[in-house]
Amino acid sequence: MRERLIFKDGPELFRAAAELFRDAARSSSGPCRVALSGGRTPIGLFSLLSDPSSGLRESIPWEKIHFFWSDERCVPPDSPESNYRSALDALLSRVPVSPDRIHRVEAELPDPAESARRYEATVLRELGARPRFDLIFLGLGPDGHTASLFPGSPAVREQRRLVVPVAVDQKTRNRVTFTLPLINAAAKIVCLASGADKADAVRRVFEEPPSESVPAGLVRPADGELLWLLDRPAASRLKI
């Protein structure tokens, strides 16, 4: 099932995403496995979750949550470009989460393929032979990519591996990313898109047939829920 909700602005969108995060953690009967996204958009979500004045932080059972990342740049964990570092600064260092429940990508290794192999092993160890995340947050790039699944990348077509390395152009860091089989096995996927620069990609996701040219449109859980949270600028080119 795919659903979309449109909000007036970023703060409303982040509040809705934070409430979904809270509800997933509270409704889980055991450990709640959550994969975070990178990029600029989720920082608003992270900041709201960690804000003691938001009314959310104290209502979340942090001790139940295991944190993962849907993708990572091949940089050290203290790099400003690291998705882990962004989440650590805005969220994880500000809430009561045990370090053994934070499962980052070892993206600083010299070989991205080894980083991917190790992270896949981590996912299998923590979630079992048929891993199913309780909640995955994803973003959307202006080119239609999500996680680090870029248009034209072989990673978009991967059907066997759960985590793979991604080689990109010389101006951009190499990446490690979840593949579509792992993403689409999740119980709940929440895609966040904020800003007018995402409007054309959003239109293509919703109004064009699924194709490898818009990888975000291939996010379609096999037996789960898919929810798109959009602000008005991001939804401005949709035929509503």
17 pLDDT above the threshold of 90: yes
pLDDT at 171: 58
d(CA 204, CA 217): 8
CA-based torsion, 46, 49, 52, 55: positive or negative: positive
User: Under 8 Å CB-to-CB from 62, ≥6 apart: which residues?
Assistant: 25, 95, 96, 97
pLDDT tens-digit series, residues 110-122: 999 999 999 999 9
The C-alpha angle 166, 171, 174, rounded to 5 degrees, equals: 20
d(CA 68, CA 75): 16
Question: Looking at residue 168, what DSSP letter applies?
Answer: -
**CATH pick for 2-231 out of 3.90.100.10, 3.30.565.10, 3.40.190.10, 3.40.50.1360:** 3.40.50.1360
Q: Note the pTM of the prediction, 2 decimals.
A: 0.97
Helix axes 10-27, 42-50, angle to 10 degrees: 60
pLDDT at 78: 98
pLDDT at 49: 98
pLDDT at 101: 98
pLDDT at 159: 97
Run of H or E including 229: strand 225-231
Our measurement of the distance from residue 196's CA atom to the centroid of its chain's CA atoms, rounded to an integer in Å, reads 20
pLDDT at 170: 57
d(CA 196, CA 167): 28
